[in-house]
Amino acid sequence: DISQETVTAVWAMAVAIYCVGGMIGGALVGFVANTLGRKGGLLWNNIFVFVAAILQGVSKSVSSYELIVVGRFIIGINCGLNAGLAPMYLTEISPVNLRGAVGSTYQLVLTISILISQILGLSSVMGTIHFWPVLLAVTIIPALFMVVVLPI
C-alpha cells in the first residue's frame, strides 16, 4: 500500500511535470519549425503523443505510477510544441483576410478541448478507478486523426 503522503507527492509531481515538459516544448518551437517546417513539426510531434498515451494507458495494468509521470512530461513537450507550431501553421495556410481569425482558432479549440476533458474526468463519466487509464490514453485519437488528415 502507498501512503496518502506518497499519493499526494506523486499527484503533485504528475501535475507539475506536465508544465516542465510544456516549457521545454515551447522552447523548442523555433528549432522544430525551422528544421522540420510547421506541418512537418506538427506531424512529428505526434510521436510524443503516441509514446505518452501508451505509457499512461498501461500504467495501471503494470502498477507503475512512474509511467504516468513520464507520460505527463512527454505530453507536456507535445503541448508546448503544439502551442507554437499550430498557430504558425494555421496562419500560414489561411488567406490574408482571414489570418487573424484562423490563427486564433487554435486557442478556441484548445479551450473547448479542456472543457471536454474536464467533463470526461468527472467521476460520473470516466474519472473512475477503472476508466482513468483510458482517459489518459484517449489523447492518441486526435493525434491519429492528424497523422491521417494533415498530409492531405
pLDDT band at 151 (very low <50, low <70, confident <90, very high): confident
Residue 1 scores a pLDDT above 80: no
Q: Range of 44's domain? A: 4-149
Q: Residue 9: which CATH number?
A: 1.20.1250.20
pLDDT at 152: 72
pLDDT at 115: 97
Average pLDDT estimate for 5-26: 95
pLDDT at 39: 97
∠ Cα 37 109 78 (to 5°)? 45
Domain count for the chain, please give it. Answer: 1
Q: Rounded distance, CA 104 to CA 99, Å?
A: 8
